[in-house]
Amino acid sequence: MTDKLDGLSMDIEAENKARLASVFPECFTEGKLDIDKLLSLCGEYITDDFEKYEFKWKGKSECLRLAQRRSTATLRPCPSESVHFDTTQNLYIEGDNLEVLKLLQKSYFRKVKMIYIDPPYNTGNDFVYEDDFSDPMRRYVEVTQQTTKSNPETMGRYHTNWLNMMYPRLRLAANLLRDDGVIFISIDDGEQSNMRKLCDEVFGEENFMAQIIWQKVYSPRMDVQGFSTSHDYVLCYVKSNVESIRQEAFTQNAAQFNFTDPANGKKYRRRSIRKEGSHSTRSERPNLWFALPAPDGTEVYPYKPDGTEGCWRWSMETYKENEQKGIVEWVRTENGWQAYAKQYLDTDALKPPETLWLHQEVGHNHAAAEELKKLLDGKVFDSPKPKELIIKMLKLATYPDSSDIILDFFSGSATTAHAVMQLNAEDGGNRRYICVQLPELCDEKSEAFKAGYPNICEIGKERIRRAGAKILEEVKQKNNQLKLGEEPKPLPDAGFKVFKLDSSNLKIWDDTPIEDGDIATLFDRIDGHIDGLKPDRSDEDLIYEILLKMGYPLTAGLATADIGGLTVYKVSNGEMLVCLQEGITAEHIEQMAALSPQKIVLAGRGLADSSAKANAFYLLENRGIELKTI
């Protein structure tokens, strides 16, 4: 009668089929997709020529199946390791990013504005995670109990291993991007070409925006043969909208904006409305040759300085519209009246971002390492990215006041978290981040281990704590030194919720084969599954798994209420109610329903008897309230 939560992540295959069926229902027969019919509806017809361009490698098909396979894991909250756990909108998640991305699918589907990742470059010493197709969680436990593995070129399938790691993760990440979302990926020459091909397939060639060159060092290396590499790349793709990339202010030409508009106080510069350059003559653009009325009634034609007949940049209709807006300015010179358009510094003076990012603007590796070394009192992480590099991306892809979510699922030293907090402090923004990192063990001989950091996650969390505290203190100091009339800046969210990947809190049915006649084993499994909850998990563990399974963000508001002696959790201002206690009666259900939630989740053992279950189902169904049990 009621739907039961099964402890599995969102069924991506079923979701994709449902979306396809909603658009092309005629392509499904008895629940099966007729691919030939789908192709014909899209104008693609089957031919005998099967040769086509493809990017293939060993294991690709299995990777796609792995990405779509449902996860049996969950994310367990760790308030003691968090900062402002109950109020922050930021997340730090420890775990294999493949499983974590699966778990985030339902709650964050098409909700992420920007993704930045700095994945392993596959230089031979990088850690390359080898997924276990049959038991991902068992493999995860094994990996987090051993030191980092490398992927040397002497191994077979050198590039294949790297591709098999990246492909399913990019597939899952693409699902999380909003339609106006943007992804930036740091990469070097080693796998740049393969990463381009991967992203072309996952995000679409038409959504490629740029291959940015980032100057990562400020001086050449003298101890190398051949070339001294001074740059890495940043690949940029949009989900579907080229306008997702914001233009940049023309700040380097601010000195040219030497006029002030008395109407609004804005700085502007003058640009002639007579067209210059190519296609700027009357013969080439005869429709743009006409007289404009100067302030004294004089008719002004677009003659060039040499006396030849030119043309205007605007039609008469556009001229009149801009004149009404106050954009047109007439200036009398010794050569007569001249018509100009006002270009304002803060609105008109914008330019597309360029593909060459110099270290003077976005920082370099050495400066990033020194900043982290100073913050954490020692060199505990190799090759962090400068936060200025990520701030540049944030400015291009996000807005200050839109609560944009930024995801980094190769979080490393948590530079992305640091950058988000820093930019929010500068522009008063409310961006929030989700950082995901595998807890790779630090080598016992490393400075990080000696400094008390057993794994990379401990480095990332401590960086966020210290950077957040430092940023808050800087904002407070500036607010204490304001001049008359200046507004204080809001304090940024410097907190973060820590979650750790673990097996589901809900018991998963053991479907391994049982020998014929082994009735005892069968009954043991049935007895163990009657109560669907694991005994060593807390209510808080269960609540957050329910949030994920029901599609609520991990930062959703939580409150408790006493209903007839039972503790009931109210999610998102009462949009969903959760009760994990026993002894739930019809009266309790009636009181819960009176709060007008959209959904109610109850422990399967919680309802007093079968009669209470039946009454609960019919009562809530009649009121349009969804009921789930665990």
DSSP single-letter state for residue 25: G
From the number of C-beta atoms within 10 Å of its C-beta (0-12, 13-18, 19+), residue 156 rates as exposed
**What's the pLDDT score for residue 512?**
59
The strand pairing partners of 506, in sequence order, are: 533
Q: Is residue 2 part of a domain?
A: no
Average pLDDT over residues 396-418: 97
- Is residue 252's pLDDT more than 60? no
**What's the pLDDT score for residue 547?**
97
- Residues 358, 434: one domain? yes
| Helix (H) or strand (E) run with residue 97 in it | helix 97-108
**What's the pLDDT score for residue 25?**
78
Strands 497-503, 259-260: parallel, antiparallel or unpaired by DSSP? Answer: unpaired
Across 123-132, 156-165, 569-578, the highest mean pLDDT is recorded for 569-578
Answer with the residue of higher pLDDT: 52 or 147.
52
- Is residue 20's pLDDT more than 90? no
Average pLDDT over residues 11-40: 79
Residue 548 main-chain phi, psi, to 5 deg: -65, -45
In angstroms, the first-to-last Cα distance of the chain is 13
- Residues 258, 164: one domain? no
- Residues 157, 83: one domain? yes
d(CA 82, CA 84): 7
Letter string b/e over residues 103-126, b meaning 16 or more CB atoms within 10 A of that residue's CB = bbbbbbbeebbbbbbbbbbbeeeb
Strands 177-187, 432-437: parallel, antiparallel or unpaired by DSSP? Answer: unpaired
Cβ-based neighbours of 402, under 8 Å, separated by 6 or more: 113, 430
**What's the pLDDT score for residue 278?**
82
- Residues 519, 398: one domain? no
Kindly report the average pLDDT of the chain as a whole number. 88
- Residues 222, 273: one domain? no
- Residues 104, 210: one domain? yes
Into how many domains does the chain fold? 4
**What's the pLDDT score for residue 493?**
98
Q: Among 347, 378, 399, which residue terminates a domain?
A: 347
Q: Are 542 and 566 in contact (CB under 8 A)?
A: no
- Is residue 628's pLDDT more than 80? yes
Q: Is residue 145 part of a domain?
A: yes
**What's the pLDDT score for residue 74?**
96
pLDDT band at 614 (very low <50, low <70, confident <90, very high): confident
Q: What is the pLDDT of residues 52-108, one digit of tens each?
A: 678 888 989 898 898 999 999 999 999 999 999 999 999 999 999 999 999 999 999
pLDDT band at 122 (very low <50, low <70, confident <90, very high): confident
Query: Which stretches of 144-278 are DSSP H helices?
Result: 158-176, 192-203
- Residues 211, 342: one domain? no
Q: Among 451, 477, 500, which residue terminates a domain?
A: 500
The pTM assigned to this predicted structure is 0.80
Domain containing residue 75 = 70-247+352-500
Q: What is the distance of C-alpha 66 from the center of its chain?
A: 21
Q: What percentage of the chain has pLDDT greater than the value 70?
A: 86
- Residues 170, 257: one domain? no
Q: Is residue 161 part of a domain?
A: yes
- Residues 358, 325: one domain? no
Q: Name which of 133-147, 218-232, 420-434, 529-543 the model is least confident about.
A: 133-147
CATH for 225 = 3.40.50.150
- Residues 193, 242: one domain? yes
Q: Among 500, 520, 545, which residue terminates a domain?
A: 500
Q: Is residue 19 part of a domain?
A: yes
Q: Is residue 1 part of a domain?
A: no
Q: Is residue 573 part of a domain?
A: yes
**What's the pLDDT score for residue 523?**
46
Q: Is residue 53 part of a domain?
A: yes
pLDDT band at 513 (very low <50, low <70, confident <90, very high): low
- Residues 273, 243: one domain? no
- Residues 561, 609: one domain? yes
Average pLDDT over residues 308-320: 94
- Is residue 522's pLDDT more than 50? no
Q: Is residue 3 part of a domain?
A: no
